[in-house]
Structure formats: structure tokens, C-alpha cells
Structure 1
Amino acid sequence: MSQRPDRLERLIEGELGECCAADVDERLEAIEAFAADVPESIDRDVGALKALGNDTRYTVVRLLAAAGRELCVCEITPVVDVSDSAISHALSTLHDAGLVRRRKDGTWRYYETTEQAERLLGALDETRGERR
């Protein structure tokens, strides 16, 4: 812990030309105020980002978003070119992360993106300068 204030002191000294304990305390208080903007429960956000952090899952979400309607696993598998079980596992992970909704109709399961998924994909598109 003593290293951090030493490094912070050197940073402030480099910026201001000098540094005292009050300068360090003031800087730490300002940084701690920023921490108030970090959600207390980040599990949902991290879970959604982790779920999108896999090629298969990301492709499935993109496919569902592009379709703009529910798709059955049997419709997704031939396009994504992985096994039915891999698609089912990916969809389960995406569902648990809140990125897809599922509906069962007899033996068929249908999936579609949630608003959260649509917004995340839109944000990613915007970072590349694309608009949907």
C-alpha cells in the first residue's frame, strides 16, 4: 500500500512541480468520488460481456439480431457451423446472461435477442463508426 501513495506523490509532483500530503489526499478524494459511478453490483454487466466474449456466442447473438425474429436451434446450427449441443450450450449461456429470451413450443425451442443485447450490439457498432 505504501508504494501507491509514493507513486501518486511522484505523479503529482511531476504535474505541479511539488507535492505534499494534502495534495495526495485531495487527489485521492477526487478519484474516490469517481468510484461512485461504478455500479455496486457489476455481475450482470460482466456476465453479459463474458457471454459475448466467445466467437460462437457472439455470432449467435448477431444472427438473432439480424433475423429480427425468433429462431429455432435447428435454424441456427447450419449457419453457425457448430454442433447442436454447442449451439444449445451457447444459447443457455446467452440466456443466463440476459442477452436472449427463449420460448418452448412442444419439442422446439425458439430464441430471440433482448433489448440489452440489441443495445450492446449497437454500442459495439458505434465504436466502429457503424450505425444500425
Structure 2
Amino acid sequence: MAQQEPTPDAADETDRPAPGCCSVGHQLPERAVAADVDTLAALGNDTRYETLRLIADAEHAVCVCELEPALGVSQSAVSQALSRLFGAGLVDRRKEGRWRYYTATPRAERILGVLDETRGGEHD
């Protein structure tokens, strides 16, 4: 009978170092990691990212009615994007009558600034 080759999963497990032998790690609590992943996921969609860029670059609070034509998507898509950005703490909103106005949070401004700095001048 022929000897079977180990499966890739079995080979991977034998190549891993034993627990406790490595000195890598981080100090972030699990809750902070989850919040960071949520923030990055909120930016991981063209409509949401462009929405945040438009809001951050505006000199005043931005209404949904201004975003819809600029993005070329439906009001529903804009509303969903804004809801996700708000939930991730990237935009603040205030209501005036039946309209909501959005501004970028300081954290969003810093994240966008870091992205600009690390882009390497490709798209100034």
C-alpha cells in the first residue's frame, strides 16, 4: 500500500512554531481590534469612501441631496453609505427640519490624511 502524502492542512500545522515560543503580539484589546476592523470595513466600498471624501473636502456640512448627484448613485445608496459611516464614527450628523447634514469626524480627517500621506504623491 502506498504511503499517503500529508494534506496541506496537516503540513501547515507541523510547520508552525509551538505556542509561546514567539515574541510577537500586540497590546490592543479585542474590542479595539473589532472597532478598527469596522472602521476599515466602512471605508472598503467605493461609494462609502467617496462619500466620506466629499464630506471631508466640503467647507460646510453636506446634505444627502448634494451627495446623490456628485456620486451618481441612488438616494438609497447614499443613505446606506452615510448610515455605515456614521455607525463607524467617521461622520457626524445633525438634523434640520427634514434634512440631515453630515460632517467628517476628527478621526475620519486623520485617517484620510494618513492615506494621502502614504499614497506617495501618485494622485495629488
Provide TM-score, normalisation by structure 2: 0.79
The structure, 1 or 2, with the larger RCO (C-alpha pairs under 8 Å, 6+ apart) is 2
Question: 1:5/1:90 Cα in 2 relative to 1: closer, same or farther (>3 Å)?
Answer: closer
Structure 1 segments of 4 or more deviating over 6 A? none
User: Counterpart of 1:104 in 2: which secondary structure?
Assistant: strand
User: Which residue is equivalent to 2:118?
Assistant: 127
- Take 1:58 and 1:121, find their aligned partners in 2: how far apart are those partners? 10
Deviations 1:71-107 (A, max 9, x none): 0000111101101111011101100010000000001
User: Which residue is equivalent to 2:30?
Assistant: 40
- Take 1:38 and 1:3, find their aligned partners in 2: how far apart are those partners? 31
More helix by share: 1
- Take 2:69 and 2:13, find their aligned partners in 1: how far apart are those partners? 56
- Take 1:68 and 1:126, find their aligned partners in 2: how far apart are those partners? 21
Q: How does 1:5-44 map to 2 (within 5 A)?
A: 6-8=14-16, 27-28=21-22, 30-31=23-24, 35-41=25-31, 42-44=33-35
- Take 2:35 and 2:98, find their aligned partners in 1: how far apart are those partners? 30
Question: 1:26/1:107 Cα in 2 relative to 1: closer, same or farther (>3 Å)?
Answer: closer
Question: 1:90/1:37 Cα in 2 relative to 1: closer, same or farther (>3 Å)?
Answer: same
Aligned residues: 113
Structure 2: which amino acid aligns with 1:120? I
Q: How does 1:1-132 map to 2 (within 5 A)?
A: 6-8=14-16, 27-28=21-22, 30-31=23-24, 35-41=25-31, 42-130=33-121
Question: 1:4/1:111 Cα in 2 relative to 1: closer, same or farther (>3 Å)?
Answer: same
Task: Please report the RMSD computed on the Cα atoms of aligned residues, expressed in angstroms.
Answer: 2.4
Aligned-residue offset at 1:119: 1.1
- Take 1:45 and 1:7, find their aligned partners in 2: how far apart are those partners? 30
- Percent identity over the alignment? 49
Structure 2 gap segments, 5+ residues each: 1-9
Provide TM-score, normalisation by structure 1: 0.74
Deviations 1:26-54 (A, max 9, x none): 742x12xxx23333311211111001000
